[in-house]
Amino acid sequence: MLHCTSTVAGPLRALGARLTTALVLCAAVVVLCTTSCTWDPIAPADNRRIALARAQIDTFLSALAAYRGDNGLYPTTSQGLSSLRVRPSDLSTWRGPYLRQDIPSDPWGYPYVYRFPGGHGEVLVVLSYGADHRLGGQGANADIVGSPKAQSE
């Protein structure tokens, strides 16, 4: 029968403790890398622009709801978002302005698109074509779309 002497058991315990510590540290590094080192294809500046565009579109939709409440209908596509600031000549029930400031460009410097009726089943659509100012796209180039139907969901 073999017995480990205390001179051998001490170094083995120390080696085991070092291996356990090394494994725990490796596991921690793996967890940190997988949770915080993931690649985000949208830059932080673009995330801010997307959030600003959504907020502006929500503001337009709220103003459009007030416009509709006063006038019984939404502005036509040709009247556009400017009718939220300036009374259309043929509308006597207008109680605006419905926005405190002029209609801003989208965060990429392009005008927002307004359509009434919106198409695809939407009552109306307010949208930004994103960074590339083209229909469709992904990431920062994706369209940012708002409609009363989408806002209520």
Model confidence pLDDT, tens digit, residues 69-79: 999 999 999 99
Alpha carbon distance, N-terminus to C-terminus of the chain: 76
What SS3 class is residue 114? strand
More confident residue, 31 or 95: 95
Cβ neighbors of 139 (< 8 A, separation 6 or more) are: 41, 42, 46
The DSSP H or E segment spanning 19 is helix 6-36
- In this prediction, what percent of the chain has a pLDDT beyond 70? 67
How high does pLDDT run on average in the chain? 80
Q: Regarding the domain delimited by 44-152, which CATH topology (the fold level of the hierarchy) does it fall under?
A: Glycoprotein, Type 4 Pilin (3.30.700)
Task: Give the residue extent of every domain in the chain.
Answer: 44-152
What SS3 class is residue 73? coil
